[in-house]
Structure 1
Amino acid sequence: MYHILIAEDEYIERTVLIKNLRDALGEGYEVHGAENGRRAVELFRQYPIGVAILDIEMPVMNGIDVAQIISREAPHCGILFLTAYDSFEYAKQAIHVRALDYLLKPYSDNELLASVENAIHRPVYYRSAQTDKAGDEEKCMDKISVITRQMEDYVRTHYQQEVSMQDAACALNYSEQYFCKLFKQQFGQNFTSYLTAYRMERARELLAQPIVNIKDVGLRVGYSDANYFAKVFRRFTGKSPSEYRMNLPET
Protein backbone atom coordinates (compact mmCIF):
# COMPACT_ATOMS: atom_id res chain seq x y z
CA MET A 1 0.00 0.00 0.00
CA TYR A 2 1.32 3.45 -0.96
CA HIS A 3 0.55 6.14 1.64
CA ILE A 4 -0.15 9.81 0.90
CA LEU A 5 -0.58 12.54 3.49
CA ILE A 6 -2.74 15.64 3.04
CA ALA A 7 -2.39 18.38 5.67
CA GLU A 8 -5.05 21.05 5.18
CA ASP A 9 -6.86 22.87 8.00
CA GLU A 10 -9.96 23.72 5.93
CA TYR A 11 -12.32 20.76 6.46
CA ILE A 12 -14.19 20.94 3.17
CA GLU A 13 -11.05 21.43 1.08
CA ARG A 14 -9.30 18.59 2.90
CA THR A 15 -12.26 16.26 2.39
CA VAL A 16 -12.50 17.08 -1.31
CA LEU A 17 -8.76 16.59 -1.80
CA ILE A 18 -8.84 13.18 -0.12
CA LYS A 19 -11.84 12.02 -2.17
CA ASN A 20 -10.42 13.27 -5.47
CA LEU A 21 -7.07 11.57 -4.94
CA ARG A 22 -8.65 8.31 -3.81
CA ASP A 23 -10.90 8.30 -6.90
CA ALA A 24 -8.07 9.21 -9.28
CA LEU A 25 -5.39 6.88 -7.92
CA GLY A 26 -7.60 3.88 -7.16
CA GLU A 27 -6.59 0.75 -5.28
CA GLY A 28 -3.13 0.44 -3.83
CA TYR A 29 -3.13 3.98 -2.42
CA GLU A 30 -4.20 5.16 1.03
CA VAL A 31 -4.77 8.89 1.57
CA HIS A 32 -4.56 10.26 5.12
CA GLY A 33 -5.88 13.65 6.18
CA ALA A 34 -4.53 15.95 8.90
CA GLU A 35 -6.24 19.09 10.17
CA ASN A 36 -3.07 20.75 11.45
CA GLY A 37 0.70 20.46 11.34
CA ARG A 38 1.09 18.50 14.58
CA ARG A 39 -1.40 15.85 13.41
CA ALA A 40 0.44 15.70 10.08
CA VAL A 41 3.69 14.82 11.88
CA GLU A 42 1.88 12.15 13.92
CA LEU A 43 0.49 10.52 10.78
CA PHE A 44 3.85 10.81 9.02
CA ARG A 45 5.49 8.89 11.88
CA GLN A 46 2.67 6.35 12.01
CA TYR A 47 2.62 5.44 8.30
CA PRO A 48 5.31 5.08 5.59
CA ILE A 49 4.28 8.27 3.81
CA GLY A 50 5.55 8.47 0.23
CA VAL A 51 4.09 11.89 -0.66
CA ALA A 52 3.15 14.70 1.72
CA ILE A 53 0.83 17.46 0.44
CA LEU A 54 1.08 20.34 2.88
CA ASP A 55 -0.83 23.57 3.21
CA ILE A 56 1.65 26.20 4.40
CA GLU A 57 -0.62 28.25 6.67
CA MET A 58 -1.94 25.82 9.33
CA PRO A 59 -2.59 26.07 13.07
CA VAL A 60 -0.32 24.51 15.73
CA MET A 61 2.52 23.92 13.25
CA ASN A 62 2.80 25.33 9.73
CA GLY A 63 3.60 23.39 6.57
CA ILE A 64 7.20 24.60 6.36
CA ASP A 65 7.96 23.25 9.85
CA VAL A 66 6.28 19.94 9.01
CA ALA A 67 8.29 19.72 5.78
CA GLN A 68 11.56 20.28 7.67
CA ILE A 69 10.79 17.31 9.93
CA ILE A 70 9.78 15.11 6.99
CA SER A 71 12.82 16.13 4.96
CA ARG A 72 15.13 15.33 7.88
CA GLU A 73 13.55 12.00 8.88
CA ALA A 74 12.56 10.68 5.44
CA PRO A 75 14.48 12.38 2.61
CA HIS A 76 12.88 10.02 0.10
CA CYS A 77 9.38 11.45 0.80
CA GLY A 78 8.07 13.77 -1.93
CA ILE A 79 6.80 17.10 -0.57
CA LEU A 80 4.21 19.31 -2.31
CA PHE A 81 3.10 22.67 -0.95
CA LEU A 82 -0.33 24.25 -1.27
CA THR A 83 -0.77 27.93 -0.49
CA ALA A 84 -3.04 30.87 -1.15
CA TYR A 85 -0.08 33.25 -0.77
CA ASP A 86 2.24 34.02 -3.66
CA SER A 87 5.13 34.77 -1.30
CA PHE A 88 8.75 34.84 -2.39
CA GLU A 89 9.79 33.94 1.16
CA TYR A 90 7.59 30.84 1.11
CA ALA A 91 8.98 29.85 -2.28
CA LYS A 92 12.54 30.18 -0.91
CA GLN A 93 11.71 27.97 2.06
CA ALA A 94 10.05 25.43 -0.24
CA ILE A 95 13.28 25.19 -2.23
CA HIS A 96 15.28 24.81 1.00
CA VAL A 97 13.31 21.69 2.03
CA ARG A 98 13.52 20.35 -1.54
CA ALA A 99 9.79 20.48 -2.25
CA LEU A 100 8.88 18.98 -5.61
CA ASP A 101 6.13 21.47 -6.35
CA TYR A 102 4.52 24.65 -5.04
CA LEU A 103 0.87 25.05 -6.05
CA LEU A 104 -0.96 28.33 -5.67
CA LYS A 105 -4.65 28.23 -4.78
CA PRO A 106 -6.89 27.97 -6.65
CA TYR A 107 -5.29 25.14 -8.64
CA SER A 108 -7.03 22.71 -10.98
CA ASP A 109 -7.63 19.05 -10.16
CA ASN A 110 -5.51 18.10 -13.16
CA GLU A 111 -2.64 20.28 -11.99
CA LEU A 112 -2.66 18.71 -8.54
CA LEU A 113 -2.95 15.16 -9.89
CA ALA A 114 -0.04 15.71 -12.26
CA SER A 115 2.11 16.98 -9.38
CA VAL A 116 1.12 14.07 -7.14
CA GLU A 117 1.89 11.48 -9.82
CA ASN A 118 5.21 13.16 -10.51
CA ALA A 119 6.02 12.92 -6.79
CA ILE A 120 4.85 9.29 -6.60
CA HIS A 121 7.10 8.20 -9.43
CA ARG A 122 10.18 10.07 -8.25
CA PRO A 123 10.46 8.69 -4.71
CA VAL A 124 10.01 5.13 -6.00
CA TYR A 125 13.39 5.40 -7.69
CA TYR A 126 14.96 6.70 -4.50
CA ARG A 127 13.61 3.88 -2.37
CA SER A 128 14.79 1.24 -4.83
CA ALA A 129 18.43 2.16 -4.30
CA GLN A 130 20.51 1.03 -1.32
CA THR A 131 23.41 3.37 -2.07
CA ASP A 132 24.34 6.96 -0.88
CA LYS A 133 22.06 10.08 -1.92
CA ALA A 134 24.54 10.64 -5.01
CA GLY A 135 23.77 7.02 -6.09
CA ASP A 136 20.03 7.59 -5.75
CA GLU A 137 20.18 10.74 -7.86
CA GLU A 138 22.00 8.79 -10.57
CA LYS A 139 19.38 6.05 -10.53
CA CYS A 140 16.61 8.63 -10.70
CA MET A 141 18.23 10.36 -13.68
CA ASP A 142 18.77 7.00 -15.38
CA LYS A 143 15.06 6.24 -15.03
CA ILE A 144 14.11 9.63 -16.43
CA SER A 145 16.45 8.95 -19.38
CA VAL A 146 14.67 5.66 -20.01
CA ILE A 147 11.27 7.38 -19.96
CA THR A 148 12.55 10.07 -22.32
CA ARG A 149 13.79 7.45 -24.77
CA GLN A 150 10.41 5.70 -24.59
CA MET A 151 8.70 8.95 -25.56
CA GLU A 152 11.12 9.54 -28.43
CA ASP A 153 10.72 5.95 -29.62
CA TYR A 154 6.93 6.27 -29.56
CA VAL A 155 7.06 9.31 -31.84
CA ARG A 156 9.53 7.64 -34.21
CA THR A 157 7.37 4.51 -34.39
CA HIS A 158 3.96 6.14 -34.71
CA TYR A 159 4.47 9.49 -36.47
CA GLN A 160 2.96 8.07 -39.69
CA GLN A 161 -0.31 7.39 -37.88
CA GLU A 162 -2.97 9.71 -36.52
CA VAL A 163 -1.87 9.77 -32.89
CA SER A 164 -2.49 12.13 -29.99
CA MET A 165 -0.96 12.89 -26.63
CA GLN A 166 -3.69 10.73 -25.08
CA ASP A 167 -2.69 7.78 -27.28
CA ALA A 168 0.96 8.15 -26.29
CA ALA A 169 0.17 8.43 -22.57
CA CYS A 170 -2.02 5.32 -22.71
CA ALA A 171 0.59 3.33 -24.68
CA LEU A 172 3.31 4.18 -22.12
CA ASN A 173 0.96 3.55 -19.19
CA TYR A 174 0.88 7.09 -17.76
CA SER A 175 -2.03 9.34 -16.93
CA GLU A 176 -2.55 12.15 -19.45
CA GLN A 177 -1.71 14.79 -16.83
CA TYR A 178 1.55 13.19 -15.74
CA PHE A 179 2.62 12.39 -19.31
CA CYS A 180 1.92 15.96 -20.44
CA LYS A 181 3.90 17.49 -17.57
CA LEU A 182 6.86 15.11 -17.87
CA PHE A 183 7.00 15.44 -21.66
CA LYS A 184 7.17 19.22 -21.47
CA GLN A 185 9.84 19.04 -18.75
CA GLN A 186 12.03 16.80 -20.90
CA PHE A 187 11.51 18.34 -24.36
CA GLY A 188 10.63 21.95 -23.63
CA GLN A 189 7.41 21.72 -25.65
CA ASN A 190 4.19 19.76 -25.64
CA PHE A 191 3.67 16.43 -27.40
CA THR A 192 1.77 17.84 -30.37
CA SER A 193 4.44 20.45 -31.15
CA TYR A 194 7.21 17.85 -30.90
CA LEU A 195 5.32 15.39 -33.11
CA THR A 196 4.62 18.07 -35.73
CA ALA A 197 8.26 19.18 -35.83
CA TYR A 198 9.38 15.56 -36.19
CA ARG A 199 6.93 15.02 -39.07
CA MET A 200 8.17 18.13 -40.84
CA GLU A 201 11.77 16.87 -40.63
CA ARG A 202 10.74 13.56 -42.18
CA ALA A 203 8.76 15.45 -44.86
CA ARG A 204 11.88 17.47 -45.79
CA GLU A 205 13.83 14.23 -46.15
CA LEU A 206 11.17 12.74 -48.43
CA LEU A 207 10.95 15.87 -50.55
CA ALA A 208 14.71 15.63 -51.10
CA GLN A 209 14.11 12.29 -52.82
CA PRO A 210 12.91 12.98 -56.42
CA ILE A 211 11.35 9.52 -56.78
CA VAL A 212 8.84 10.25 -54.02
CA ASN A 213 5.63 11.80 -55.33
CA ILE A 214 4.83 15.07 -53.57
CA LYS A 215 1.23 13.95 -53.11
CA ASP A 216 2.43 10.94 -51.12
CA VAL A 217 4.66 12.88 -48.74
CA GLY A 218 1.84 14.06 -46.48
CA LEU A 219 0.43 10.55 -46.18
CA ARG A 220 3.83 9.13 -45.31
CA VAL A 221 4.28 11.54 -42.42
CA GLY A 222 0.83 11.10 -40.89
CA TYR A 223 -1.42 13.59 -42.74
CA SER A 224 -4.43 12.15 -44.56
CA ASP A 225 -5.48 15.63 -45.73
CA ALA A 226 -3.01 16.91 -48.36
CA ASN A 227 -4.19 20.51 -48.04
CA TYR A 228 -3.71 20.51 -44.28
CA PHE A 229 -0.24 18.99 -44.64
CA ALA A 230 0.72 21.73 -47.11
CA LYS A 231 -0.55 24.38 -44.71
CA VAL A 232 1.46 22.99 -41.80
CA PHE A 233 4.55 22.55 -43.98
CA ARG A 234 4.36 26.18 -45.16
CA ARG A 235 4.05 27.36 -41.58
CA PHE A 236 7.26 25.54 -40.69
CA THR A 237 9.33 26.29 -43.79
CA GLY A 238 7.76 29.34 -45.39
CA LYS A 239 7.25 27.33 -48.62
CA SER A 240 4.75 24.88 -50.04
CA PRO A 241 6.04 21.29 -50.48
CA SER A 242 6.43 21.82 -54.24
CA GLU A 243 8.26 25.16 -53.74
CA TYR A 244 10.54 23.52 -51.19
CA ARG A 245 11.46 20.76 -53.64
CA MET A 246 12.03 23.22 -56.52
CA ASN A 247 14.47 25.20 -54.35
CA LEU A 248 16.54 22.24 -53.28
CA PRO A 249 20.14 22.35 -54.56
CA GLU A 250 20.82 19.97 -57.41
CA THR A 251 22.89 16.92 -56.56
Structure 2
Amino acid sequence: MKCKVLVAEDELIERKVLCKTLQKYLGDLILLFEARNGREAMELFEQEAPQLVILDIEMPGLTGLEVARRIRETDKNCGILFLTGYDKFAYARQAISVRALDYLLKPYKEQELIFAVEDAIRQVSSPVAHMARPRAEVPTLKEEVDDVRTAVIRSEMYAFIENHYREDISMQDAAAALRYSDAYFCKLFKQCFKVNFSTYLNEFRVQKARQLMTDSRLNLKDISAACGYSDANYFTKVFKRITGKTPSEYRLAAAEQAVKGE
Protein backbone atom coordinates (compact mmCIF):
# COMPACT_ATOMS: atom_id res chain seq x y z
CA MET A 1 0.00 0.00 0.00
CA LYS A 2 1.33 3.44 -0.93
CA CYS A 3 2.10 5.98 1.77
CA LYS A 4 -0.15 9.05 1.59
CA VAL A 5 1.99 12.20 1.59
CA LEU A 6 0.58 15.71 1.92
CA VAL A 7 2.75 18.65 0.77
CA ALA A 8 1.79 22.13 1.97
CA GLU A 9 3.79 24.98 0.40
CA ASP A 10 2.34 28.38 -0.52
CA GLU A 11 5.01 29.21 -3.12
CA LEU A 12 3.72 27.69 -6.38
CA ILE A 13 7.09 27.05 -8.05
CA GLU A 14 8.66 25.59 -4.91
CA ARG A 15 5.65 23.33 -4.38
CA LYS A 16 5.65 22.07 -7.96
CA VAL A 17 9.39 21.39 -7.96
CA LEU A 18 9.13 19.60 -4.62
CA CYS A 19 6.21 17.43 -5.75
CA LYS A 20 7.83 16.68 -9.11
CA THR A 21 10.99 15.54 -7.34
CA LEU A 22 9.05 13.31 -4.94
CA GLN A 23 7.07 11.81 -7.79
CA LYS A 24 10.22 11.20 -9.83
CA TYR A 25 12.06 9.25 -7.13
CA LEU A 26 9.30 7.91 -4.88
CA GLY A 27 6.29 7.67 -7.17
CA ASP A 28 6.01 3.93 -6.65
CA LEU A 29 5.90 4.38 -2.87
CA ILE A 30 3.68 7.41 -2.34
CA LEU A 31 0.27 8.89 -3.12
CA LEU A 32 0.80 12.65 -3.25
CA PHE A 33 -1.56 15.48 -2.24
CA GLU A 34 -0.82 19.21 -2.65
CA ALA A 35 -2.03 22.11 -0.51
CA ARG A 36 -1.53 25.78 -1.34
CA ASN A 37 -1.83 27.01 2.24
CA GLY A 38 -2.43 25.91 5.82
CA ARG A 39 -6.22 25.88 5.63
CA GLU A 40 -6.20 23.75 2.51
CA ALA A 41 -3.70 21.45 4.20
CA MET A 42 -6.08 20.89 7.12
CA GLU A 43 -8.98 20.19 4.76
CA LEU A 44 -6.94 17.61 2.84
CA PHE A 45 -5.66 16.08 6.06
CA GLU A 46 -9.22 15.58 7.33
CA GLN A 47 -10.33 14.13 3.98
CA GLU A 48 -7.38 11.86 3.16
CA ALA A 49 -5.70 11.09 6.52
CA PRO A 50 -2.12 11.08 5.14
CA GLN A 51 0.61 9.22 7.03
CA LEU A 52 3.22 11.90 6.27
CA VAL A 53 2.85 15.68 6.02
CA ILE A 54 5.52 18.03 4.64
CA LEU A 55 4.86 21.57 5.84
CA ASP A 56 6.42 24.91 5.02
CA ILE A 57 6.67 26.64 8.39
CA GLU A 58 5.78 30.07 7.00
CA MET A 59 2.42 30.10 5.22
CA PRO A 60 -0.33 32.75 5.19
CA GLY A 61 -3.46 32.07 7.24
CA LEU A 62 -2.45 28.96 9.15
CA THR A 63 1.30 28.51 9.52
CA GLY A 64 2.94 25.12 9.24
CA LEU A 65 3.38 25.06 13.02
CA GLU A 66 -0.33 25.73 13.58
CA VAL A 67 -1.27 22.99 11.11
CA ALA A 68 1.08 20.57 12.87
CA ARG A 69 -0.43 21.33 16.26
CA ARG A 70 -3.94 20.71 14.95
CA ILE A 71 -2.84 17.45 13.36
CA ARG A 72 -1.35 16.31 16.67
CA GLU A 73 -4.68 16.90 18.42
CA THR A 74 -6.23 14.03 16.45
CA ASP A 75 -3.30 11.98 15.14
CA LYS A 76 -0.33 11.11 17.36
CA ASN A 77 1.48 9.02 14.74
CA CYS A 78 1.33 11.14 11.59
CA GLY A 79 4.87 11.93 10.41
CA ILE A 80 5.63 15.65 10.16
CA LEU A 81 8.53 17.09 8.19
CA PHE A 82 9.13 20.86 8.18
CA LEU A 83 10.54 23.10 5.46
CA THR A 84 12.18 26.26 6.76
CA GLY A 85 14.61 28.97 5.72
CA TYR A 86 17.96 28.79 7.52
CA ASP A 87 17.66 32.36 8.82
CA LYS A 88 14.18 31.58 10.17
CA PHE A 89 15.29 28.43 11.96
CA ALA A 90 14.38 29.87 15.37
CA TYR A 91 10.79 28.90 14.49
CA ALA A 92 11.82 25.28 14.79
CA ARG A 93 12.09 25.66 18.58
CA GLN A 94 8.32 25.74 18.64
CA ALA A 95 8.14 22.51 16.66
CA ILE A 96 9.50 20.30 19.44
CA SER A 97 6.04 19.79 20.95
CA VAL A 98 4.65 18.34 17.70
CA ARG A 99 7.48 15.79 17.40
CA ALA A 100 8.63 16.58 13.87
CA LEU A 101 10.66 13.82 12.19
CA ASP A 102 13.02 16.20 10.40
CA TYR A 103 13.61 19.79 9.33
CA LEU A 104 14.70 20.53 5.77
CA LEU A 105 16.58 23.81 5.62
CA LYS A 106 15.99 25.84 2.45
CA PRO A 107 17.60 25.74 0.01
CA TYR A 108 17.94 21.97 0.27
CA LYS A 109 19.51 19.58 -2.21
CA GLU A 110 17.39 17.10 -4.14
CA GLN A 111 19.16 14.16 -2.53
CA GLU A 112 18.58 15.59 0.97
CA LEU A 113 14.86 15.80 0.28
CA ILE A 114 14.60 12.21 -0.96
CA PHE A 115 16.62 10.69 1.87
CA ALA A 116 14.65 12.66 4.47
CA VAL A 117 11.29 11.61 3.01
CA GLU A 118 12.36 7.98 2.59
CA ASP A 119 13.49 7.91 6.21
CA ALA A 120 10.21 9.47 7.32
CA ILE A 121 8.20 6.90 5.35
CA ARG A 122 10.06 4.08 7.08
CA GLN A 123 9.43 5.63 10.47
CA VAL A 124 5.70 6.17 9.99
CA SER A 125 5.43 2.61 8.69
CA SER A 126 6.63 1.50 12.13
CA PRO A 127 5.49 4.28 14.48
CA VAL A 128 6.11 2.36 17.69
CA ALA A 129 9.78 1.92 16.87
CA HIS A 130 10.59 5.63 16.75
CA MET A 131 7.74 7.91 17.74
CA ALA A 132 6.76 6.29 21.01
CA ARG A 133 10.24 6.49 22.54
CA PRO A 134 10.57 8.55 25.72
CA ARG A 135 12.05 11.97 25.13
CA ALA A 136 15.26 12.99 26.83
CA GLU A 137 15.47 16.28 28.69
CA VAL A 138 17.27 18.66 26.33
CA PRO A 139 18.75 22.14 26.55
CA THR A 140 17.09 25.08 24.82
CA LEU A 141 18.24 26.39 21.43
CA LYS A 142 21.20 28.78 21.49
CA GLU A 143 21.70 31.21 18.66
CA GLU A 144 25.51 31.23 18.51
CA VAL A 145 28.06 28.42 18.70
CA ASP A 146 31.76 29.29 18.56
CA ASP A 147 34.25 27.45 16.36
CA VAL A 148 35.78 25.40 19.15
CA ARG A 149 32.44 24.17 20.42
CA THR A 150 31.35 23.40 16.85
CA ALA A 151 34.43 21.21 16.38
CA VAL A 152 33.64 19.32 19.59
CA ILE A 153 30.01 18.85 18.59
CA ARG A 154 31.02 17.65 15.13
CA SER A 155 33.33 15.09 16.69
CA GLU A 156 30.54 13.85 18.99
CA MET A 157 28.10 13.53 16.10
CA TYR A 158 30.63 11.68 13.96
CA ALA A 159 31.43 9.31 16.84
CA PHE A 160 27.74 8.51 17.29
CA ILE A 161 27.38 7.63 13.62
CA GLU A 162 30.62 5.62 13.62
CA ASN A 163 29.41 3.61 16.61
CA HIS A 164 25.81 3.10 15.51
CA TYR A 165 25.62 3.17 11.69
CA ARG A 166 25.07 -0.61 11.67
CA GLU A 167 21.84 -0.12 13.64
CA ASP A 168 18.40 1.22 12.69
CA ILE A 169 18.97 4.80 13.84
CA SER A 170 17.20 8.07 13.13
CA MET A 171 17.95 11.75 13.61
CA GLN A 172 15.83 11.64 16.78
CA ASP A 173 17.97 8.83 18.20
CA ALA A 174 21.15 10.81 17.63
CA ALA A 175 19.67 13.99 19.09
CA ALA A 176 18.45 12.20 22.21
CA ALA A 177 21.75 10.35 22.69
CA LEU A 178 23.69 13.62 22.53
CA ARG A 179 21.06 15.44 24.62
CA TYR A 180 19.93 18.03 22.10
CA SER A 181 16.44 18.96 21.01
CA ASP A 182 15.62 17.63 17.54
CA ALA A 183 15.47 21.17 16.15
CA TYR A 184 18.80 22.26 17.64
CA PHE A 185 20.50 19.01 16.57
CA CYS A 186 19.23 19.44 13.01
CA LYS A 187 20.64 22.95 12.81
CA LEU A 188 24.00 21.98 14.31
CA PHE A 189 24.34 18.91 12.10
CA LYS A 190 23.73 20.97 8.97
CA GLN A 191 26.31 23.50 10.14
CA CYS A 192 28.89 20.79 10.83
CA PHE A 193 28.42 18.51 7.81
CA LYS A 194 26.68 20.73 5.21
CA VAL A 195 23.95 18.11 4.63
CA ASN A 196 21.14 16.76 6.77
CA PHE A 197 21.45 13.70 9.01
CA SER A 198 19.76 11.13 6.76
CA THR A 199 21.88 12.13 3.73
CA TYR A 200 25.13 11.97 5.68
CA LEU A 201 24.21 8.64 7.28
CA ASN A 202 23.45 7.06 3.89
CA GLU A 203 26.68 8.40 2.38
CA PHE A 204 28.61 7.11 5.39
CA ARG A 205 27.03 3.66 5.11
CA VAL A 206 27.68 3.44 1.37
CA GLN A 207 31.33 4.34 1.90
CA LYS A 208 31.61 1.52 4.46
CA ALA A 209 29.93 -0.83 1.97
CA ARG A 210 32.43 0.11 -0.73
CA GLN A 211 35.25 -0.80 1.62
CA LEU A 212 33.69 -4.18 2.44
CA MET A 213 33.20 -4.98 -1.24
CA THR A 214 36.95 -5.41 -1.66
CA ASP A 215 36.55 -8.68 0.26
CA SER A 216 35.22 -11.16 -2.32
CA ARG A 217 34.24 -13.60 0.44
CA LEU A 218 31.39 -11.31 1.54
CA ASN A 219 28.13 -11.43 -0.39
CA LEU A 220 26.17 -8.26 -1.02
CA LYS A 221 23.32 -9.19 1.31
CA ASP A 222 25.76 -9.57 4.22
CA ILE A 223 27.42 -6.28 3.31
CA SER A 224 24.02 -4.59 3.22
CA ALA A 225 23.17 -5.84 6.72
CA ALA A 226 26.62 -4.97 8.06
CA CYS A 227 26.13 -1.37 6.95
CA GLY A 228 22.72 -0.88 8.58
CA TYR A 229 20.37 -1.85 5.74
CA SER A 230 17.98 -4.64 6.68
CA ASP A 231 16.34 -4.32 3.23
CA ALA A 232 18.82 -5.33 0.51
CA ASN A 233 16.64 -3.81 -2.22
CA TYR A 234 16.67 -0.44 -0.47
CA PHE A 235 20.43 -0.73 -0.06
CA THR A 236 20.77 -1.25 -3.81
CA LYS A 237 18.60 1.80 -4.53
CA VAL A 238 20.57 4.04 -2.15
CA PHE A 239 23.93 2.72 -3.37
CA LYS A 240 23.06 3.46 -7.00
CA ARG A 241 21.73 6.92 -6.16
CA ILE A 242 25.02 7.84 -4.49
CA THR A 243 27.56 6.07 -6.72
CA GLY A 244 25.72 5.82 -10.04
CA LYS A 245 26.12 2.02 -10.04
CA THR A 246 24.34 -0.90 -8.38
CA PRO A 247 26.42 -2.80 -5.80
CA SER A 248 26.97 -5.62 -8.32
CA GLU A 249 28.07 -3.21 -11.04
CA TYR A 250 30.35 -1.38 -8.64
CA ARG A 251 32.00 -4.59 -7.40
CA LEU A 252 32.51 -5.85 -10.97
CA ALA A 253 34.06 -2.55 -12.06
CA ALA A 254 36.35 -2.55 -9.01
CA ALA A 255 37.44 -6.13 -9.75
CA GLU A 256 38.21 -5.25 -13.37
CA GLN A 257 40.29 -2.26 -12.29
CA ALA A 258 42.19 -4.46 -9.83
CA VAL A 259 43.02 -6.94 -12.61
CA LYS A 260 44.28 -4.13 -14.81
CA GLY A 261 46.34 -2.85 -11.90
CA GLU A 262 44.67 0.57 -11.91
TM-score category (smaller protein): 0.5 to 0.7
Which residue of structure 1 aligns with residue 82 of structure 2?
Answer: 81
Q: CA RMSD in A?
A: 4.1
Superposed displacement of residue 2, structure 1: 1.7
- State whether residues 110 and 177 of structure 1, in contact with CA within 8 Å, keep that contact through their aligned partners in structure 2: no
Superposed displacement of residue 19, structure 1: 1.4
Match of 2:238 among 173, 176, 179: 176
3-state SS in 2 of match to 1:6: strand
- State whether residues 51 and 78 of structure 2, in contact with CA within 8 Å, keep that contact through their aligned partners in structure 1: yes
Superposed displacement of residue 77, structure 1: 1.2
Superposed displacement of residue 172, structure 1: 4.5
Letter in 1 for 2:215: Q
Paired with 2:21 and 2:56, the residues of 1 have a C-alpha distance of: 17
Number of residue pairs aligned between Structure 1 and Structure 2: 174
Paired with 1:9 and 1:178, the residues of 2 have a C-alpha distance of: 33
Paired with 1:28 and 1:97, the residues of 2 have a C-alpha distance of: 25
Going from structure 1 to structure 2, the CA distance change for 1:110 and 1:156 (only over 3 Å counts) comes to closer
Match of 1:160 among 215, 234, 237: 215
Paired with 2:167 and 2:75, the residues of 1 have a C-alpha distance of: 26
3-state SS in 2 of match to 1:87: helix
TM-score by length of structure 2 reads 0.54
- State whether residues 118 and 178 of structure 1, in contact with CA within 8 Å, keep that contact through their aligned partners in structure 2: no
Which residue of structure 2 aligns with residue 20 of structure 1?
Answer: 21
Letter in 2 for 1:176: V
- Structure 1 unaligned blocks of 5 or more: 136-143, 181-222, 229-251
Superposed displacement of residue 103, structure 1: 1.3
Residue deviations 1:93-115, cap 9 Å, x none?
A: 12221111111111011101111
Superposed displacement of residue 134, structure 1: 5.6
- State whether residues 52 and 120 of structure 2, in contact with CA within 8 Å, keep that contact through their aligned partners in structure 1: yes
Superposed displacement of residue 48, structure 1: 2.4
Superposed displacement of residue 88, structure 1: 4.8
Paired with 2:80 and 2:240, the residues of 1 have a C-alpha distance of: 17
Letter in 2 for 1:92: R
- State whether residues 9 and 35 of structure 2, in contact with CA within 8 Å, keep that contact through their aligned partners in structure 1: yes
Going from structure 1 to structure 2, the CA distance change for 1:128 and 1:107 (only over 3 Å counts) comes to closer
Paired with 1:146 and 1:6, the residues of 2 have a C-alpha distance of: 30
Q: Which has the larger radius of gyration?
A: 1
3-state SS in 2 of match to 1:27: coil
Note if 1:59 corresponds to 2:114: no
TM-score by length of structure 1 reads 0.56
Taking only the aligned residue pairs, the percentage that are identical comes to 40
3-state SS in 2 of match to 1:173: helix
List aligned pairs for 1:102-251, cutoff 5 A.
Answer: 102-126=103-127, 133=132, 147=168, 158=213, 160-161=215-216, 168=224, 171-174=232-235, 175-176=237-238, 224=258
Going from structure 1 to structure 2, the CA distance change for 1:179 and 1:128 (only over 3 Å counts) comes to farther
Q: Say which structure, 1 or 2, has more relative contact order (CA 8 Å, 6+ apart).
A: 2
Q: Deviation above 6 Å: which 4+ runs of structure 1?
A: 154-157, 177-180
Going from structure 1 to structure 2, the CA distance change for 1:69 and 1:159 (only over 3 Å counts) comes to farther
Paired with 2:112 and 2:89, the residues of 1 have a C-alpha distance of: 21
- Structure 2 unaligned blocks of 5 or more: 135-164, 170-204, 243-256
Superposed displacement of residue 85, structure 1: 4.3
- State whether residues 123 and 129 of structure 2, in contact with CA within 8 Å, keep that contact through their aligned partners in structure 1: no
